[in-house]
Structure 1
Amino acid sequence: MIRHLRPPVDVDALVADAVARGRVVRLVVAGETKTATLEAFADALDFPAWFGGNLDALADLLDHLARHDEGEAELVVDGVLALQREDPFAAAQLNGVLGEVALAHPRFHVSVIER
């Protein structure tokens, strides 16, 4: 499941709620550019050094993560508004990747915070 949230959003409460539901929670703070956002995913999710730094590689690694998580998981992507302003096409592509992974893996929940 993917959901889009607009301010005001209390990230701590969002994370606490997901944890209370038994989910493993991962938080990524998006950057202003596609490159910065992909780097943020790589850093926050501890991607391997061979991560290609493109949306196809992101999709592959998120799919791998979703398949190998035990139980429920939640990915919180905060701060996408700057990316939407600076590069709307990249933001739409990112949203597509996140939506595809969430659709393919019902136990992998995605919350996108648009601020």
Structure 2
Amino acid sequence: MRVLGAQVDLDGLVADAVEEGRQVQVVRGRATKSETLEAFSEALNFPEWFGMNLDALADCLDTLARESEGEWEIVWDEAAALRREDPRAATGIESVLAELDEEHPSVHVTIIER
């Protein structure tokens, strides 16, 4: 998992990942935990049963990682909004993403702090 600063070129980052053969999904950060979980759900097309909590996020991401073919990258952009408003929720989501990155070598996680 990598954490990048605010000056990163998102379009360039995505283009580089695609060029390297990865499928890329960008999740736009939001200011609250529930809005951020909703953003993950929308960007990654989670099933209707998604429970809007960290355990459900971990379960859905794990399922996607196991079912995806090839390399896959999740980019959580604008993560700083949640960190400012709810640092505990931001840390929880980062923990879920770090575990996903660690357990699935074909999954790459990038967090952009802006």
Q: How does 1:35-74 map to 2 (within 5 A)?
A: 35-74=34-73
Q: Which amino acid aligns with 1:60?
A: D
| Structure 2 counterpart of 1:76 | 75
So what's the TM-score if we normalise by structure 1?
Answer: 0.98
Structure 1: runs of 5+ lacking an equivalent:
none
Q: CA deviation at 1:7?
A: 1.8
Three-state SS of the structure 1 residue aligned to 2:2 is strand
Q: Which amino acid aligns with 1:113?
A: I
Is 1:15 aligned with 2:19?
no
| Structure 2 counterpart of 1:107 | 106
Query: Within 1, Cα distance between the matches of 2:68 and 2:109?
Result: 14
How many residues were matched structurally?
Answer: 114
Q: CA deviation at 1:30?
A: 1.3
Structure 2: runs of 5+ lacking an equivalent:
none
Identity %: 57
Q: Which amino acid aligns with 2:99?
A: E
So what's the TM-score if we normalise by structure 2?
Answer: 0.98
Task: Output one character per residue of 1:41-69: Cα deviation in whole Å (capped at 9) or x when no partner.
Answer: 11111111110010100000001111111
Superposed structure 1 runs of 4+ greater than 6 Å apart: none
Root-mean-square deviation over aligned CA pairs = 0.5
Q: CA deviation at 1:16?
A: 0.2
Query: Within 1, Cα distance between the matches of 2:72 and 2:46?
Result: 17
Task: Output one character per residue of 1:25-48: Cα deviation in whole Å (capped at 9) or x when no partner.
Answer: 011001100000000011111111
Query: Within 1, Cα distance between the matches of 2:96 and 2:56?
Result: 10
Q: Which amino acid aligns with 1:55?
A: L
Three-state SS of the structure 2 residue aligned to 1:99 is helix
